[in-house]
Structure 1
Amino acid sequence: MIRLCILIILLRVASLAYAQIVDINVDCAQVIGKIRSLQGMNAGPMAHYPLWPDLIAQYQEIGVDYVRTSGVIRWTMDTVRTLPWDIHFIFPDSLADPNNPSNYNFAPADSQIQAIIETGAKPFIRLGYSWLGQLPAVRYIRPEYRRTWAEICKHIIMHYNDGWANGFNYNIEYFEIWNEPNNFSFWAGTQLEYFQLYDTTARVLKTYNPNLKIGGPATAGVGINWIAGLLIYCYNHNVPIDFVSWHVYSDTVSIDAYKVVRSSMRVQQVLDSLNFSIPHYLTEWNISASNPGRYGYNTRGGAFTASFLIYMQNTTIDKAFRYRGPEADTSFGTWFYDGTYKKPAYAFLAFKKALETPIRLHCTGSDTLGYATIAGKSAGGDTISILISDVKSSNSGYNLTVRNLPWGYSGFTYQRYLLDSLHNLELVETGNYFDSTFATQETMIAPSVQFIRLIKRQPTSVSEKP
């Protein structure tokens, strides 16, 4: 028994000796860029079941900027499963005339788009088919049907942008052709056949409206061969392409948030090597491509989300879309069925707070293993924020030093918020200070996220005013 106690003590001492204190230094005088909003979601805020609450307020609270219409599902009261944004659901009879408005079933998709618009986000339309618990209804477009399929897509856009078929004038810009064609579960044809489908569809859409932004291929994983192949095909055949898109998922073993940086670099290298000056979009991401399980809602999943959002700021990704917003039959949802926040939703909320200070400042402390930091200041220079996320390190805390505060020696308020197993981004510490430098040492055990804000204190009396 005594030996066991001694062993436990030695192990405890060894673990403490191994634990690190991370030095985080912020220089308010050194601006390195802008903190960009990459708060996109897959699937809009409408609940999948009629008795569940919609998520319009939640989307607004975390600042969702774009919503991709992929994986959209809606069950009816009599448990009929519908896919409002799949082409075969909008246009049920594939042999019908695509020029006839009566051949379209727009009402369910209309509700989805209206809900997205109500949140203040912009729709990003995926033209294709969903896989939600079963294979997509369509996994191949015959060569002789490509033109008809493209015409159907065109008339769908006309409905939402030009009022066709009692439609709307939403001026939706972005349209992505298909989803994961390098995944046999979504595309049963060859690579060349997908390129040819893209060719036909992009030409039809651009002829109708050259201002639309058309792209793909929305690959499963980075899919470099498909991305490069599509770009080369478009160059050789003079096919319009405005962006490329791809997906990235980690796994529940490595929980590798930095994978997004490595993947983005590969995509950008392809674009550069082929002399394409177009953006690339990450149109799906999450902690796992299969059911995330507990990581879809627990604190490690929340820290992964925060670190992922921070790491993306070090990439050339122009738009990003987490998979997904509403809960379905897996743990991918950012919120629970009843609309309450999961830990990853609080991570998005923390980053929304960071976006309120968009002038990015030099900040040390990040590594490539899931420990990520970012700092910014507000446009008026009266607020500084620091976001720190630790997915899985053995660090025991950090020393934070913030130099060259923009308000000099004026007073300021310090606030620290905590996201861990016991706290949901709650204010856990506050204080008032007078100095041009701020320093603090805090305990931080993975997995957790901390958000710190320094706010210039406004004069409260005539004698305090300059």
Structure 2
Amino acid sequence: MADIILYPERTLAPLKRLHGVNNGPVCYGSLMDVSVYYERAGIPLVRLHDTNWPNPGEVDIHTIFRDFSKDADDAASYDFARTDDYIASVLATGAKIVYRLGESIEHTKVKHYVHPPADMEKWARICVNIIRHYNEGWANGFHHNIRYWEIWNEPDNPDRQCMWSGTPEQYYELYRIAATEIKKHDPSLKVGGQAATMVNMPFTEGFVAYCREHQLPLDFFTWHTYADDPQQILNNALKARTLLDEAGFTDTESHLNEWNYMRADEGADDEIWRQLWKPGGEIFRRNLFERQKNEEGASFVAAVFAMLQDAPVDEANYYDGQPHELYCGLFDGYCIPQKTYRVFEQFQQLCAYPRRIAVAVEESAAGLFGFGVASDDGGTALWLSNFSGESRKYSITSEGANGAVGGWSAEWRLLDAERDFDSAVEKAVLGEDGSIEVFLPKHSVLVLRMNRSDKKEAFE
């Protein structure tokens, strides 16, 4: 029996384009620009948070409305210039935007901007005027039609109050005031939060209960997971959906809008994790972030792309897309695309197929994750990540191939420690039983296409 079986006649829900990212393509004072790579990967959705961190000069409320004592309805009180340019660079790639209304993370001992606003009604008015500037042309603005507006980020983050110095109740109140004012101004906009670091904490349960009790708008609920196992992301997706549904928010979208691969060194314990950002943790830190860029992180991302197709997740944003040595698995500090970026690029190519089809990964292939797509002329493609399975040959077949294999051929490319989907295309005629065998090392990603022999090659 084959390890992986494609079922071309079993059409599923369309492929979800969940390869969004956090932050745009330009950073380091515009010296670094990866716009061309965003375009090639077809990045569909960019969330603006920690923009140009650790020295954000745009997006954050305090970078636009610099003096809270000023009149919130006076255009002269606002400095939009840098954020205007930044948003233009994102939209130029073809991506849409999730705008996080709030502040970037502060790891410094003294916190400057992550405190509850002294006047929440005024803060909400500032948010509305930012929306007016980018959607309605106010203050020499634009008509960008930004639909998603997220209120704050990770107010439940337990790390030294790095995102919120107030109480849970103060955040709930801020959300109530801001969400109500935004929807009052333009009911068509989508407003959401809480950008939860976890979805099973009392803070999150309290937030959803508060929204239900006060009948607040919650068009999309956002949550984050940094994991070393795709199952962790699936578990949180199910928890988030269950929490929302049980509270009556059945139409609320679920957004995984921060995620990445985070695996410690073998045998790392809690004490080592605590040393991550301290003297002595340099090698551990380097190893952790380099994994996000190499075949290990790439196969994790490919596995998550496959797993999310049938998970209750509506949008997703990998953290982070801006070229940076930390958390960005797509590029190095010189803007050179890494293996994980190649996964984004290949995923975009498969999004061109009009139909998604069923794929069965048998128990014999534990640790592999996949999905299938099909073209209108009957050609099929298989996406397969060997994130944690054995390094060995795997047999792949397509239901209905028996007795009709003479006019078909298969071709594939692989990403692993040595390859980035860039080696010569591997070709094979299907065997008499309609199957093929491919050796997949652990931490590899396969893109396999089966086409009629008289068709043009799928790989250009």
State the TM-score bracket (shorter-chain normalisation). 0.7 to 0.9
- Tell me the residue number matched to 1:109: 83
Name which of 107, 129, 137 aligns with 2:112. Answer: 137
- How do 1:187-202 and structure 2 match up within 5 A? 187-202=164-179
What's 2:302 paired with?
A: 306
In structure 1, the residue matched to 2:22 is 42
Q: Which residue of 1 aligns with 2:122?
A: 148
Question: Letter of the aligned partner of 1:197 in structure 2?
Answer: L
Cross-structure match for 1:93: 67
- Tell me, in whole angstroms, the C-alpha distance in 1 between the residues paired with 2:255 and 2:317: 8
Task: Tell me, in whole angstroms, the C-alpha distance in 1 between the residues paired with 2:451 and 2:69.
Answer: 63
Counterpart amino acid of residue 262 in structure 1: N
> What are the ranges of 5 or more consecutive residues in structure 2 without an aligned counterpart?
264-275, 277-284
- Structure 2 match to 1:228: 205
Give the CA deviation at 1:230. 2.0
Distance 2:434 2:422 in 1: 21
Identity, in percent, stands at 28
| Residue 360 of structure 1: aligned partner | 356
1:66 to 32, 40, 45: 45
Deviation by residue 1:223-254 (Cα, 9 ceiling, x = unmatched): 4433332222122212222111100001xxxx
Q: Give the letter aligned to residue 139 of structure 1.
A: V
Q: Residues 210-221 of structure 1 correspond to what in structure 2 (within 5 A)?
A: 210-221=187-198
Counterparts in 2 of 1:430 and 1:91: CA distance versus 1, 3 Å: same
Q: Residues 370 and 297 of structure 1: is their aligned pair in 2 closer, same or farther, counting only changes over 3 Å?
A: same
Contact 1:258 1:370 in 2 (8 A): no
1:411–1:434 CA contact under 8 A, matched in 2: no
**1:51 is matched with which residue: 31, 48, 51?**
31
- After superposition, the Cα gap between the structure-2 partners of 1:435 and 1:393, relative to the gap in structure 1 and judged at 3 Å, is closer
The two structures have a TM-score, normalised by structure 1, of 0.85
Specify which of 322, 326, 338 is matched with residue 322 of structure 2: 326
* Contact persistence 2:2–2:397 (CA under 8 A): no
Name the SS for the 1:99 alignment partner. Answer: coil
Q: 1: CA distance between counterparts of 2:24 and 2:208?
A: 30
CA distance in 1, matches of 2:164, 2:396: 50
Tell me the distance in 2 between the aligned counterparts of 1:244 and 1:459: 44
Q: Residues 436 and 134 from structure 1, CA distance in 2 versus in 1: closer, same or farther, beyond 3 angstroms?
A: farther
Aligned equivalents of 2:426, 2:368: Cα separation in 1: 24
Task: Report 1:120-269 matches (<5 A).
Answer: 120-131=94-105, 134=108, 137-142=112-117, 145-183=119-157, 184-250=161-227, 255-269=228-242
Larger radius of gyration: 1
Q: Is the 8 A contact 2:106 2:162 kept in 1?
A: no
Question: Aligned pair in 2 of structure 1 residues 426, 366: CA closer, same or farther (>3 Å)?
Answer: farther
Separation in 2 of the partners of 1:381 and 1:438? 19
CA-CA distance at 1:213 after TM superposition: 0.2
1:331: how far off? 4.2
Q: Which residue of 1 aligns with 2:289?
A: 293
Task: Pick which of 163-172 and 126-135 moved more.
Answer: 126-135
The aligned residue for residue 372 of structure 2 is 375
* CA deviation profile, 1:3-23 (whole Å, cap 9, x unmatched): xxxxxxxxxxxxxxxxxx971
SS, match of residue 374 in structure 1: strand
Structure 1 residue 105, shift from structure 2 partner: 1.2
Q: 1:430 to 1:203 in 2, by over 3 A?
A: same
Higher alpha-carbon deviation: 433-442 or 235-244 = 433-442
Structure 1 position 23 matched with structure 2 position 3: yes
2:410 touches 2:430 (CA, 8 Å); kept in 1?
Answer: no
Give 2:412's aligned residue: 416
User: How far is 1:411 from its partner?
Assistant: 3.4
Cα distance, 1:155–1:418 mapped onto 2, change above 3 Å: same
- Displacement of 1:333 in angstroms is 4.3
Mapped contact 1:413–1:430 kept (Cα < 8 A) = no
Deviation, 1:412, is 4.1
Aligned position for 1:11: none
Distance 1:221 1:358, change over 3 A: farther
Residues 344-369 of structure 1, C-alpha deviations (whole Å, 9 max, x = no match):
11121222233222522221126797
- Answer whether contact 2:324 2:331 (CA < 8 A) is retained: no
Contact 1:48 1:326 in 2 (8 A): no
Determine the C-alpha separation between the residues in 2 that align with 1:397 and 1:315. 28
- Check whether the contact 2:212–2:247 (CA below 8 A) recurs between aligned residues: no
Matched residues in 2 for 1:111 and 1:389: separation? 38
Report the TM-score, using the length of structure 2 for normalisation: 0.86
Mean CA deviation greater in 323-332 or 37-46:
323-332
C-alpha deviation, 1:62, in angstroms:
1.3
Q: Secondary structure at the match of 2:124?
A: helix
* Residues 331/209 of structure 1: CA separation in 2 closer, same or farther (3 Å cut): closer
For 1:202, what is the secondary structure of its paired residue? helix
1:287 deviation in Å?
0.9
Distance 1:125 1:72, change over 3 A: same
**CA displacement at 1:304 relative to structure 2:** 0.8
1:437 CA displacement: 7.2
Deviation at 1:431, TM superposition (A): 3.6
CA deviation string 1:202-232 (max 9, x = no partner): 1111111011100100011224433332222
The Cα shift of 1:408 comes to 6.2
Question: What secondary structure is seen at the aligned counterpart in 1 of 2:26?
Answer: coil
Matched, 1:336 2:332: yes
Contact 1:44-1:67 within 8 A present in 2 as well: yes
Counterpart-to-counterpart distance in 2, 1:230 and 1:62: 35
The CA deviation at 1:32 is 2.9
Is the Cα–Cα contact under 8 Å of residues 74 and 84 in structure 1 kept in the other structure? no
Using the TM superposition, give the Cα deviation of residue 403 of structure 1 relative to its aligned residue in structure 2, in angstroms: 2.5
Cα deviation per residue 1:96-135 (whole Å; 9 max; x = unaligned)?
1111111111111111111111111101100111126547
